[in-house]
A and B are shown apart, each in its own frame.
Chain A
């Protein structure tokens, strides 16, 4: 790559040996990675501890009993189910609305376009507490009782933004002529959508959808304001930590979530592995 271009920035002969990082850089990188991953490791470790009141290091003993307790706890599974349900439905809504909004705002040019773009992005730019309070009072004004659907609607407001952003970015990098080219070659609107537009936007929609799912799945603040009596998984964990009994149960649930979230992350990196240049127009 451009190693030589960086040469003049380096103070010594090391400039010619950039493939080999300096010791301090290596150390810094290692410390950074440890800082990020030790807490994760600890969470997994304490899922197996025999001590249930405090996080004592090293754990006095190891056991699998917390896993069997978790399996029998009805409240955990209903929280997991609710979280997945909310995340799936709000992600689905976000994909449809975000993609449509991106397509509309990318193609059209009209007075007030900038303002509408800003309004779409606003829910994710605002602090969650503002979104939460305003949605809560809005539900109150309109008279919608709190339910799973109020959580879903609330999550969809900010999930839509990440899909919108991903799709708009992809559209900007795609030559608008490819749609005309497709029609020129005999494809009608329907065929053009399925053969050309969708494959080009597919990975962007997928990445946006993954992000939306993750955002919804661990959302606490907006959910607190709009959930009523419902308990999603993050809210369950929060309340469990405040009342310390059988602490390792929380850790077991955390391990479970880590395993679950790994699947979409690995899948997303698998499907997007070759797409670094896919958006490039032919120029």
Chain B
């Protein structure tokens, strides 16, 4: 498999603050790769470094085997879809999309052909003459995509592209983005703070925290085998048991994390770990209940799926027996 993008030892400081700290990552050609993290974690800075808008203090950016660190953004074979779309307000849809073709001095006839094709792809046929101010959020999003895709870039960078859309439209655009990526076979590098979005769309995810990458892995491994407490805590719901408590309650030698779906409530079978705890909070989630259990020092979150044969008293303070197996826990590095 070809490596599309390789970042080696990227560092970037703003005054006293480290925005990026020794970033190393490799993205394969045709991959849907997400940079996920809370706001201020450095994921957008990392994207701007790849695009060429930010110059890193140290490190090398490599695109398909070529060092592009010193190449200005307008000569890099990557394109960006901006968070606020950054459409040119004084141009109509067609001129926005044709901008890069005009810059590259591509013959008019060929331009018309390419525009026609991309408008069909993003379903914007008939909107050529509209100004960006006359479009809805979803349509602007499509114009921004078309404007970048018409270049057939090797790598497309997307900076929280769905952040401004409402939930329904966002879900619809997620599917369309994924289809576009398959159709064009372009490497997507996708910045988001929405873990659901990253999990459902990505081939692999890099988790950012305070300028560092905590883990690069497939969504499945990120969820089931988090390497650090931050990743375990950031992705999905999880209970983290620190080493001191693990020793004290379970005679277990390491900190570990535990997903709620692996905790059995009042199970009559034998399991590796057992503890009694009180219900301290119950959240109704539709098809299941999210229950927070507490002992003196431990907090554990579990899901309860009501079934016909199981009855659970959900009154706060009720004591329950919780149990889980060793194979379902993930050891964490301190």
Contact = CB atoms under 8 A, between A and B. Distances in A.
Interface of A: 174-175, 177-178, 180-188, 191, 195-196, 199-200, 277-283
B86 A181 contact: yes
A277 B130 CA distance: 13
Given A178-B89, A180-B53, A181-B82, A282 B151 contact: no
Contact of B82 (A180, A196, A200, A280): A180
A177 B147 CA distance: 14
A177 B104 CA distance: 21
A282 B132 CA distance: 6
Most chain B beta carbons < 10 A, residue from A181, A182, A187, A199: A181
Interface residues of B, number: 31
Contact of A281 (B78, B84, B148, B151): B84
A132 B308 CA distance: 91
25 contacts: A177-B84, A180-B53, A181-B86, A181-B88, A184-B51, A184-B73, A184-B80, A185-B100, A185-B103, A185-B148, A187-B100, A187-B103, A195-B103, A196-B88, A200-B90, A278-B90, A280-B133, A281-B84, A281-B89, A282-B132, A282-B133, A282-B140, A283-B84, A283-B85, A283-B164
A180 B89 contact: no
Contacts of A180: 51, 53, 73, 80, 82, 86
B72 A200 contact: no
List of 7 A-B pairs having minimum Cβ-Cβ separation, nearest first: A177-B86, A185-B100, A181-B86, A282-B85, A277-B133, A282-B87, A186-B103
B47 to A, nearest CB: 11
Nearest to A184: B80
A196 B104 CA distance: 16
A282 B131 CA distance: 10
B74 interface: yes
Contact of B74 (A174, A183, A277): A183
Given A184-B80, A185-B79, A186-B74, A200 B89 contact: yes
A181 B87 CA distance: 8
A185 B148 CA distance: 7
